[in-house]
Amino acid sequence: MLERRQPDNASDYVAILITKFLRFFADTFFSKRYGHRAVVLETVAAVPGMVAGMWIHLKCLRKMQSDRGWIKILLDEAENERMHLMTFIEIAKPNWFERGLILFAQALFWHFYFILYVFFPRTAHRLVGYFEEEAVISYTAYLEQVENDLSLNVAAPQIAINYWKLKPEARLIDVIKVVRDDEAGHADVNHKLADTIDEDKHSAKNIKQIEYKKEEPDFSTANKNNINAHQSTTLYNSTSLGEISLFNRIVMAPLTRSRATVSGVPTAIMADYYSQRASAGLIIAEATQISQQGQGYSWTPGIYTEEQTNGWKNVVDKVHGRGGKICLQLWHVGRISHTDLQPGNQNPVAPSAIKAKASIWLQSGSAEVSEPRELELFEIGTIVEDYRQAAFNAKKAGFDMIEIHAANGYLIDQFLRDSSNKRSDRYGGSIENRARLLLEIIDAVSSIYPNNRIGFRIGPTSNFNDINDSNPEELFAYVATQLGKKALAYMHAIEGQTGGDRQNIPFNYDKLYSLFKENGGLASMANNGYDKDLAESTTVDLVAFGVPFIANPDLVYRLEHGLPLNEPDQATFYGGDEKGYSDYPFYDK
């Protein structure tokens, strides 16, 4: 059941009263005609997204400013609500007089909502959020009625089957369930938009900063007056990444630690681990498989089931509770897997049937990767959709942004490099074709997150997991240029060999960063072998630290003050419990 949003002020209570009146009206006049009641609800619900999207569009044209992805969100919502209305018109079959009333009611509510949105946009979004909550209640009652009287469970209209991709034999019960889920999603989106307006209004006064203490810091109670305290270089200054405010320019790199359950559900100790490191400007959570097919190691987390999503939500909530920002890295390992981990013990998939000289770990221990099979052309679209669904689940879990993992010899990197991609179709051969999968994935996830909340990770010269390319300069120049044009939040580059030599192959990373930003990308992020001196002298926008964060939950504080670092215990890097994971000490003065 949907968790009801509690009102924050008087206008919220007014919004609740209005929405309860609208549902009371629908329930009273259509107490037994649930189909007509749904038409009334959707008549009202179909208006706000269209109105708000149009008004924001006009404002953006006038001020030449970014819409932060709101227009697409709102117009997608409007289209979704329009399909709800069309579906229930098909089911209820209102007469022509009733259809006339629908048009009249939409016109009336259109004018009311337009005026409300122009002058009180926060209240307008809150009103819609509360209205959608009431709609969820109404659809739950509708569902119970149909389940108790199966004679009402008519065949689903074809328009609903096509739009929601339901089974051909779908019934009314199936339609009500998906519509109810849609309404719950719309409620959450509108409440978050209202929250964002609140944040914008008060951001100048309420920027959260870190107050360091001997014990574990309390990131939620710092005073704004301390913003400039202890800053020795710009590495420690607060900054922004698109519309996200960051404490500093230090990023916690994604680190596989294998502390999830066997079924890929994030655990309570993972929430402790990440929240301890919330002083990082941005946390990029460990690589997380988008499907079972995308898994390559035991005990790594997933984001493709409800249980996994809820597990991640616990992690995100705890990080946000400390004022931190957290990003999820989406991952498909491709050929770096084993049949024991694959659905139905099938062979792992790859762009081409070329086995890597690499190993993975299972519950039984280390093992060579299994022989892969080449992906059929039609299967690639399914993987792209898996990424989109994973992004949807990440947003549901509350992640501030997402990162697409296109490095370290995993699936996307396998498509990019000519040593592992020998395809002769539109995903192989030329650089443009080999980069096609990455670009399609970015386009898919951008339907969930705005582009300024999407990053990607590449390792141009890393041969980790038996990967290489004959012309990495040209390949990754194309990638940086094309993804820069999409105005993504950042490009995260592993400089050199993953976890090794930073100069393994000559490569102009500065040129790569410039290409990305000159074409519209927002920020550059560097990774691999950075220490305090190198990080403080670099010209990149963000610096990602990996291993140092493992043993130093307060790494930012230690770097800023030149304090000694804890040494990590490599024996506890992968798998296990709290030992070597969430038990490393904070600096004690």
DSSP secondary structure letters along 410-479: SHHHHHHSTTT----STTSSSHHHHTHHHHHHHHHHTTTS-GGGEEEEE-TT--TTT---S-HHHHHHHH
What pLDDT is recorded for position 37? 52
Angle of helix 10-29 versus helix 34-45 axis, rounded to 10: 150
On the question of pLDDT at 577 being above 60, the answer is yes
Annotation marks residue 410 as catalytic: yes
Angle of helix 377-397 versus helix 306-321 axis, rounded to 10: 40
**Residue 359 — φ and ψ, nearest 5°?**
-130, 160
- CB neighbours (10 Å) of residue 396? 17
Apex CA 392: angle with CA 220 and CA 153, to 5°?
125
Residue-wise pLDDT tens digits, 163-190: 888 889 999 889 888 888 888 877 877 7
157's tokens: 């209209």
Burial of 473 (C-beta count, 10 Å sphere; 0-12/13-18/19+):
middle
Residue type present at position 543: V
Say how far apart CA 322 and CA 223 lie, in whole Å. 14
Q: State the average pLDDT over residues 225-232.
A: 33
What pLDDT is recorded for position 558? 95
Say how far apart CA 378 and CA 349 lie, in whole Å. 13
What pLDDT is recorded for position 96? 78
Domain with CATH 3.20.20.70 in the chain: 224-335+373-548
CA distance to 21, 88, 159, 373, 584, per residue, from 185 (Å): 22, 19, 21, 38, 39
What pLDDT is recorded for position 88? 74
DSSP string, 199-256: HHHHTTT-----B--SSS-BTTS--GGGTTTT--SGGGS-EEETTEEESSSEEE----
pLDDT confidence of 215, banded at 50, 70, 90? very low
Of 77 and 338, which is predicted with more confidence?
338
Of 356 and 20, which is predicted with more confidence?
356
* From the candidate CATH numbers 3.40.50.2000, 3.20.20.70, 3.30.565.10, 3.40.640.10, the one assigned to the domain spanning 224-335+373-548: 3.20.20.70
pLDDT confidence of 66, banded at 50, 70, 90? very low
What pLDDT is recorded for position 261? 97
Of 55 and 506, which is predicted with more confidence?
506
Q: Per the residue annotation, which of 212, 236, 273, 410 is the catalytic one?
A: 410
Lowest mean pLDDT among 131-135, 247-251, 493-497: 131-135
CATH topology of domain 10-202: Ferritin (1.20.1260)
Of 81 and 397, which is predicted with more confidence?
397
Say how far apart CA 217 and CA 237 lie, in whole Å. 18
Say how far apart CA 328 and CA 568 lie, in whole Å. 24
Residue-wise pLDDT tens digits, 455-501: 999 999 999 999 999 999 999 999 999 999 999 999 999 999 888 88
Question: Which range among 122-131, 158-167, 432-441 has the greatest average pLDDT?
Answer: 432-441
Q: Position of tokens 């999207």?
A: 53
Q: Is the dihedral of CA 435, 438, 443, 444 positive or negative?
A: positive
On the question of pLDDT at 73 being above 80, the answer is no
Lowest mean pLDDT among 63-67, 92-96, 246-250, 278-282: 63-67
The residues, ordered by sequence, that sit 6+ positions from 498 with a Cβ below 8 Å of its Cβ are: 407, 408, 459, 462, 464, 528
Say how far apart CA 151 and CA 343 lie, in whole Å. 39
Q: State the average pLDDT over residues 421-436.
A: 96
What pLDDT is recorded for position 164? 82
Pure H helices in 256-346: 268-276, 306-321
What pLDDT is recorded for position 207? 31
Q: Do 300 and 286 form a contact (C-beta atoms < 8 A)?
A: yes
- CB neighbours (10 Å) of residue 366? 8
On the question of pLDDT at 575 being above 60, the answer is yes
What pLDDT is recorded for position 62? 45
Say how far apart CA 566 and CA 555 lie, in whole Å. 9
Q: Do 348 and 291 form a contact (C-beta atoms < 8 A)?
A: no
- CB neighbours (10 Å) of residue 561? 14
pLDDT over 90 percentage in the chain = 57
- CB neighbours (10 Å) of residue 250? 24
Lowest mean pLDDT among 16-30, 208-222, 404-418, 533-547: 208-222
Say how far apart CA 297 and CA 293 lie, in whole Å. 11
Q: Do 566 and 584 form a contact (C-beta atoms < 8 A)?
A: yes
What pLDDT is recorded for position 221? 35
- CB neighbours (10 Å) of residue 329? 25
What pLDDT is recorded for position 4? 65
What pLDDT is recorded for position 226? 33
- Closest by CA to 256, choosing from 585, 565, 547, 568, is 547
Task: Return the SS3 of 165.
Answer: coil
Lowest mean pLDDT among 219-223, 281-285, 294-298: 219-223
What pLDDT is recorded for position 222? 35
Domain with CATH 1.20.1260.140 in the chain: 10-202
Q: State the average pLDDT over residues 265-288.
A: 97
CA distance to 350, 373, 384, 426, per residue, from 354 (Å): 8, 8, 21, 19
Q: State the average pLDDT over residues 337-351.
A: 96
**Residue 245 — φ and ψ, nearest 5°?**
-85, 135
The mean of the pLDDT values for the chain is: 84
On the question of pLDDT at 439 being above 50, the answer is yes
pLDDT over 70 percentage in the chain = 83
What pLDDT is recorded for position 69? 56
Say how far apart CA 330 and CA 394 lie, in whole Å. 9
What pLDDT is recorded for position 294? 97
Longest dimension (CA), the chain: 78
- Closest by CA to 129, choosing from 64, 209, 190, 68, is 190
Say how far apart CA 15 and CA 116 lie, in whole Å. 11
Task: Return the SS3 of 494.
Answer: strand
